[in-house]
Chain A
């Protein structure tokens, strides 16, 4: 069965420090991986994706993620956190043969402390 795990319910980071939000996945075949962000009372916004190619993926708002096949991980990173990055972050995976279906992780709340 396909699944996505986000082991941290909440991550606290001081403004200006680097941040990491963790994600591991389990899927048969090559995965399609995504990060989405959700601000309060809003829909989800697409941040970045890994489909194939370079393991380091760059996305919106200075975020990047590294695909690690051996560790089945796709951690989200940013070199210098902003208070405005505080939000709920979802990792998601799409099975290779089902591009119309996304499985979301439970979400990680990111708090950036001023």
Chain B
């Protein structure tokens, strides 16, 4: 299984809502990532979990809260978002064994109204 899955595919939420994005991989990868991607732009790194511990937070606003319940699962909890947070949110994973490439999920298209 070489797949990273993300749910939901699409999400529309109001600025006062609380929602969560979910990411799952069963490749035994020990690093998992959240990226934000605006249209026609490269992905911007948000968070990295390495061996289930948060290792990188790229100064992301606290309205985004990551969680890694186990080595296969990654969540991104959303609260009080702004319209400018509308974007494609990508999850990725990698091995941390020296092969370095990341495997990406299809993303969640988030619209904040």
Q: Do A and B come from one complex?
A: yes
A residues lining the B interface (CB < 8 Å):
32, 34, 36, 41-46, 49, 51, 88, 90, 94, 99-102, 104-107, 109
**Can you spell out 16 A-B residue pairs with CB atoms less than 8 angstroms apart?**
A32-B100, A42-B106, A43-B4, A43-B6, A43-B92, A43-B104, A43-B106, A44-B102, A99-B96, A100-B55, A101-B48, A104-B42, A104-B43, A106-B42, A107-B41, A109-B40
B105 touches A43 (CB 8 A): yes
The B interface is mostly helix, strand or loop, or mixed, namely: strand
A107 touches which one: B42, B56, B92 (CB < 8 A)?
Answer: B42
User: Using Cβ atoms and an 8 Å threshold, which residues of chain B touch A36?
Assistant: 104
User: Using Cβ atoms and an 8 Å threshold, which residues of chain B touch A46?
Assistant: 101-104
> Given A44-B43, A90-B42, A104-B42, A51 and B107 touching (CB < 8 A)?
no
Distance in Å from the Cβ of B12 to the closest Cβ of chain A?
16
| Residue tally, chain B, CB below 8 Å to A | 27
User: Using Cβ atoms and an 8 Å threshold, which residues of chain A touch B48?
Assistant: 100-101
A102 touches B106 (CB 8 A): no
Q: Which 9 A-B pairs have the closest CB atoms?
A: A43-B104, A104-B42, A44-B104, A46-B101, A43-B106, A99-B100, A43-B107, A43-B105, A100-B48
Q: Looking across the interface, which residue of chain B has its beta carbon closest to that of A105? A: B42
Distance in Å from the Cβ of B74 to the closest Cβ of chain A?
14
Separation of A112 and B96 alpha carbons in the complex (Å): 36
> Given A107-B41, A107-B42, A100 and B104 touching (CB < 8 A)?
no
B90 touches A43 (CB 8 A): yes
Distance in Å from the Cβ of A67 to the closest Cβ of chain B?
15
For residue B94, CB closer than 8 A to chain A, the reply is yes
Q: Looking across the interface, which residue of chain B has its beta carbon closest to that of A32? A: B100
Distance in Å from the Cβ of A13 to the closest Cβ of chain B?
20
Q: Looking across the interface, which residue of chain A has its beta carbon closest to that of B33? A: A100
Q: Looking across the interface, which residue of chain B has its beta carbon closest to that of A51? A: B100
User: Using Cβ atoms and an 8 Å threshold, which residues of chain A touch B103?
Assistant: 46
Distance in Å from the Cβ of B108 to the closest Cβ of chain A?
10
Distance in Å from the Cβ of B34 to the closest Cβ of chain A?
12
**Could you give, for residues 1-30 of chain B, a 1 whenever the CB lies within 8 Å of some chain A CB and a 0 otherwise?**
000101000000000000000000000000
